[in-house]
Structure 1
Amino acid sequence: MPSIVHLVLSLALQKNWYMHQLDVSNAFLHGELSETVYMRQPKGFEHPDYPKYVCKLQRALYGLKQSPRAWFHRLAHFLLDLGFKQCVSDQSMFIFHSGADCIILLIYVDDIVVFGSSKSLVSKFISSMSSEFSMKDLGQLDHFLGIELKCNSLGLLLLQHRYTTSLLHRFRLEKCKPVLTPLHSKLDWNSTSSPLLEDPSIYRQMVGSLQYLCFTRPDIQFAVNLASQFLHQPRQLHLQAVKRIFRYLAGTIDWGLQLYKNSSLSLTVFSDSDWAGCSATRRSTTGFCIFLGSNLISWSAKKQPTVARSSTKAEYRALVIATAEATWLQYILRDLGVFLTSPVAAKCDNIGAIHLAHNPVFHSRSKHVALDYHFVREKISHGDLVFSHVHTSEQLADLFTKVLASSRFRDLTANLHVHSSRSD
């Protein structure tokens, strides 16, 4: 979901589309049930002659597990009748074309974001929606799913200032001392010398709340992923490490992700891996970031499911996972009618992984690599993908695979276009 939002916002900026937000009042009450559901009569509203009878529901109610699906089914059918087409790559996105103009809808339960190339076409669509559903027209898009969209001279800055402030207040860390990086370089996360937490719920709440903050803060993605690996049995040192993430956020509370309006339509992928980085399991961490022109639209930090026997295999896995994400983004762009004129540019700092991607020869050094990873070779042979080596000093995906010194961390954060709103 974050990748889709970043992608469409980037396109809207480049094409100067109108951005509008709608909210459906009592959305679930519009859903029509396809299953037989009964409910007890509400207290105080029992039928005087049949107090023990139950009600057969024809429409959804809040609290039913069928309600979200019933509402989306109703809305989707209405949009399809209007001439919209449902995106194959993401079922929550709908696209409408009228000549050279188009409308793109992103739907998240009862929140609907409208992107349109024509103001009159957008107004006509809003009128059609209002005639069918009880709607709230929230005007120009400036706040969506807890994300603040701040226009500036460069384009659009995505912030979660209010959400970050509420988290600091919730966990009583609003007066904590800020730090320069979210992780301490010498902390051993797998140490068992620290006592287990008597009540791990607070740790789980803190880490869970940070996961949503990664929507606009790629600089904490690796730290949050690392903290998430100890949710089952957190120790005191883990809690202190998570508090350090909050201390970093306290000093960068007004930071966000900058999207540029003057950007090209080309995909660039940076992938990296920290071979055997976990001292307990010896598994590696996959990290990647994907740019559409100058705009960062997708990123990830995740531990690999199995142990890699070599650094080449670990890097190759990361390369393939990033390629799969870029391929999916290409499908989204095609559904939107955007066709890239240049192949995806993939950058990796491991020469062995690049050779393995280009070399179709099956030899002893690649026997341990799962065959399904080699789909990337087909991408190269078809000209859809171009791999190149990037020096480690220019590897932007380093931020998602390892703990970095403060100077290196700040440089990569700036190169990923995460900065303060005060610098506008």
Structure 2
Amino acid sequence: MGTCPRNFSYLNLHGISHRFVAHIHRTEWLCRTKASASCRNSRTLLVASNVPKVYWVEALSTATYLINRLPISGLAQSPWELLFHTLPDYTRLKIFGCSCYPWLKPYVSSKLDGKSKPCVFLGYSLQHKGYRCLDMLTDRVYISRHVLFDEKSFPFTAKSASPSDSIPPLSPVIDLQFPIPNSHSVLPSSPSIHPSSHTPNTSESVSPHNFSPLQSHSSSPSLPGQNIHPMVTRSKNGIFKPKAYTATKHPLSSSLNYVPTTYHQASKFAEWRSAMQAEFNALQSTGTWILVPSSSSQNVVGCKWVFRIKKKPDGTVDRYKARLVAKGFHQKEGLDYQETFSPVAKPVTIRILLTFAVQFNWFLHQLDISNAFLHGDLKEEVFMHQPPGFSDPNFPNHVCQLKKSLYGLKQAPRAWFDKLFQALKSLGFTQSSSDASLFVLKVPVLVIVLVYVDDILVSGPDSSVCNLFIKKLSSLFPVKDLGPLHYFLGLEVQRTNEGLFLHQGKYLMDLLQKTKMEGAKPCSTPLGTTKLDHGGTPLDNPTEYRSIVGGLQYLTWTRPDISFAVNQVCQFMHAPTDSHMQAAKRILRFLKGTPSHGIWFRKGPLTLSAYSDADWAGCTFDRRSTGGFCVFLGSNLVSWSAKKQPTVARSSTEAEYRSLAHTAAEVTWICKVFRDFGFSSSVKPTIWCDNISAISLASNPVFHARTKHVEIDYHYIRELVLANLVTVQYVCSQDQIADIHTKSLSKNRFLFLQSKLSLGTPSLSKLSLRGCKDKDAKS
């Protein structure tokens, strides 16, 4: 501020009001002290505007704000220009302490409240693009962008007036024009002396009659910002409540359920710090990377920490997991990655394995590979920045050259699967030709390994041989034996003498809570009788709809009764409307009424049978047919499908025939899986169909002339029938179980077919309604 006269012309060129310049010039003589520039300028602002000293923080902040935007002596540039290389905006500068009227609509709680009130300008907000405005009545500071200024009025400025002869001047009180309750006790005009020009003295005696006009309103003199409203508030009684910072997601204290999103947030909690340290130690122990000097020719990818709370089936916290993830979207194809595909276990294979485990009382354990992706070997050169918070102090500018795969890399799943494949191959396992994630060891005793990324199922008739395999695998990878199968990929498993019960109760309740449907009214069917089309009002935010439908898709692992309904809502993912959202929520309401339903696997004859059906031209807007099937292994449902056919069928026979072909292909594939398990059945699989013409077409070539337009691959079913590998038989429409996968049904019809799908509920003594596994139940 000492250079203000020299900068007047510079400021005026940028739109500064002449009054503001004159205001600075008028108060410049107060700044000539030996204190720092900020202190001098803040004192200038306080004295010139008669703002009380209690607001020295606001004055100091405003002075610093101005200094950062004024040119520096000798450089003709401001600190703002040196830092941001742009001219500061001088049009926002206003006179400190002047009257202002902010727009207070966001702060009021009633529509009848005023939209503004007189305030005092106390500077600029450093966190927002707005002005700080003080309400002298409530001593509250408002922050607003929309403010009207009266730079000729200064509410704190002392007003000169002659004192009354009859009434002595009052003690220092600002004339804020407070309302006086009693009309007969209104004071005559008296001068108001500002506290900044008066030093309070507690020992000073004051005549009682000086305050007699105000005794009916307050027993003590008013001070600046004092609330003299007659309402009794908590603050007047000494009751104070901490401020709730609702605008931020950062926790005020440690929370067991809090999941941070950045390293800065996680570093404040001991449990997350230890989780990051454990992950970093694991990366170092496996030699995941080496530090090399950075080069301009390197394609360096970023990395970040991802945090998850691993929970048990009953919802309690199992462990805190911190994972270092590479930002694979920075990778370039052909430079630092090639192939990315990696197989995972199919749901049908998992159900077949569970069926055999129940039928023959097989050993069934679950394994988890710690930091699975970190064991894969990279074939390409990949460079990555050092992890946040764990940079090497000796080489802070070096980058990591990855030797092992890392989560987030595009080729990480493939690299891990190749590593596991080589390990299992060295132990004598052979890969299944029907399911690449299935590995079988037949000598000396059958051992079956099913891989789903880093979760592995181990089963076989001999528990000692299976345990021996687990020990051998533990010597190659850090394996955690989780014991008998009870929680796998969000699937909860309960094994009893009756059989094995598979359900997703916990996942369902979490989905209902996420979609705020836990209090919804249940309904009896997942889909109404009205068919969905493209009608309705488009949703403003289709992301919520897609999230709900995606969650419902995963529920079809154990809920075949919602397959057709989920298939219907999946057809409108690109442009959902309000009617589609209602249909999706109806499915959630249906699930709300049956939260503990799941699939039972029980002992019985292992005969393979399937039901095939089609709804000809069932779609109202493209007239394509919907085909569906369900495959049973004995009484256990192992496979089902509800899918729209890719082309339009010219007759119901053609639609049924195509559905038969898809069902036959599924049955053939299941038979191949049986052979991998070492199981062979002398009974031919049977496919049940309710269309006589389709059955005749599958076995009688005379009808070929009428089906020239049918693709050749759909005649695959005829070859299976002629080869005596599959039998196609007729079933009446009333007993067609696959009917539940092709069309919307009435309540009675739906409940009847639902009872045929081996669905059920567990005993309440073993499993809670929430779907959580009881701690005392034996898995």
**TM-score, normalised relative to structure 1:** 0.96
Which residue, out of 234, 249, 259, partners 2:591? 249
Distance in 2 between the 1:269 and 1:37 partners? Answer: 49
| Counterpart mapping for 1:181-220 below 5 A | 181-185=525-529, 187-190=530-533, 192=535, 194-220=536-562
Distance 1:51 1:259, change over 3 A: same
**For the Cα contact (< 8 Å) 1:254–1:422, is it kept in 2?**
no
**For the Cα contact (< 8 Å) 2:525–2:590, is it kept in 1?**
yes
Which residue, out of 1, 13, 22, partners 2:358? 13
Further displaced range: 325-334 or 211-220:
325-334
Query: Is 2:510 the counterpart of 1:139?
Result: no
> Residue deviations 1:69-121, cap 9 Å, x none?
1111111101100101111111111111233x211111111111111211110
Distance 1:404 1:69, change over 3 A: same
Aligned residue pairs: how many?
A: 420
Query: Is 2:453 the counterpart of 1:112?
Result: no
Counterpart residue identity of residue 40, structure 1? H
DSSP 3-state at the match of 1:276: coil
Which residue, out of 335, 339, 353, partners 2:676? 335
Deviation of the 1:182 alpha carbon: 0.4
Counterpart residue identity of residue 220, structure 1? I
Counterpart residue identity of residue 469, structure 2? F
Counterpart residue identity of residue 507, structure 2? Y
Counterpart residue identity of residue 533, structure 2? N
More helix by percentage:
1
Which residue, out of 165, 171, 176, partners 2:509? 165
Deviation of the 1:51 alpha carbon: 5.3
Deviation of the 1:220 alpha carbon: 0.3
DSSP 3-state at the match of 2:446: strand
Distance in 1 between the 2:727 and 2:580 partners? Answer: 41
> Residue deviations 1:157-198, cap 9 Å, x none?
11100000000000000011111110111x231152x21111
**TM-score, normalised relative to structure 2:** 0.53
DSSP 3-state at the match of 1:37: strand
Distance in 2 between the 1:191 and 1:226 partners? Answer: 12
Cα RMSD over matched residues? Answer: 1.6
Which residue, out of 352, 359, 384, partners 1:39? 384
Counterpart residue identity of residue 75, structure 1? L
Which residue, out of 705, 709, 713, partners 1:368? 709
> Residue deviations 1:123-165, cap 9 Å, x none?
1111111111111110011111111111234311111000000
Task: Give the aligned partner of residue 693 of structure 2.
Answer: 352
> Residue deviations 1:42-82, cap 9 Å, x none?
45666677655443221112221121111111111011001
Distance in 2 between the 1:188 and 1:360 partners? Answer: 37
Deviation of the 1:409 alpha carbon: 0.7
Task: Give the aligned partner of residue 403 of structure 2.
Answer: 58
Distance 1:279 1:314, change over 3 A: same
Task: Give the aligned partner of residue 615 of structure 2.
Answer: 274
**For the Cα contact (< 8 Å) 1:222–1:400, is it kept in 2?**
yes
**For the Cα contact (< 8 Å) 1:149–1:156, is it kept in 2?**
yes
Distance in 2 between the 1:381 and 1:400 partners? Answer: 28
DSSP 3-state at the match of 2:359: helix
DSSP 3-state at the match of 1:57: strand
Task: Give the aligned partner of residue 313 of structure 1.
Answer: 654
Larger radius of gyration: 2
Query: Is 2:421 the counterpart of 1:421?
Result: no
Task: Give the aligned partner of residue 264 of structure 1.
Answer: 605
Task: Give the aligned partner of residue 521 of structure 2.
Answer: 177
Counterpart residue identity of residue 260, structure 1? R
Further displaced range: 241-250 or 46-55:
46-55
Which residue, out of 24, 27, 44, partners 2:372? 27
Task: Give the aligned partner of residue 98 of structure 1.
Answer: 443
**For the Cα contact (< 8 Å) 1:84–1:94, is it kept in 2?**
yes
Distance in 1 between the 2:471 and 2:358 partners? Answer: 24
Distance in 2 between the 1:208 and 1:53 partners? Answer: 41
DSSP 3-state at the match of 1:58: strand
Distance 1:383 1:35, change over 3 A: same
Deviation of the 1:382 alpha carbon: 1.2
Distance in 1 between the 2:651 and 2:577 partners? Answer: 31
Distance 1:49 1:249, change over 3 A: closer
Distance in 1 between the 2:616 and 2:389 partners? Answer: 65
Which residue, out of 217, 227, 243, partners 2:569? 227
Task: Give the aligned partner of residue 293 of structure 1.
Answer: 634
DSSP 3-state at the match of 2:606: coil
DSSP 3-state at the match of 2:353: helix
> Residue deviations 1:295-326, cap 9 Å, x none?
10000000011100000000000000010011
Query: Is there any run of 5+ residues in structure 2 with no aligned partner, and where?
Result: 1-345, 767-779
Task: Give the aligned partner of residue 70 of structure 1.
Answer: 415
Which residue, out of 455, 465, 468, partners 1:124? 468
DSSP 3-state at the match of 2:404: coil
**For the Cα contact (< 8 Å) 2:697–2:703, is it kept in 1?**
no
Further displaced range: 194-203 or 211-220:
194-203
Deviation of the 1:256 alpha carbon: 0.4
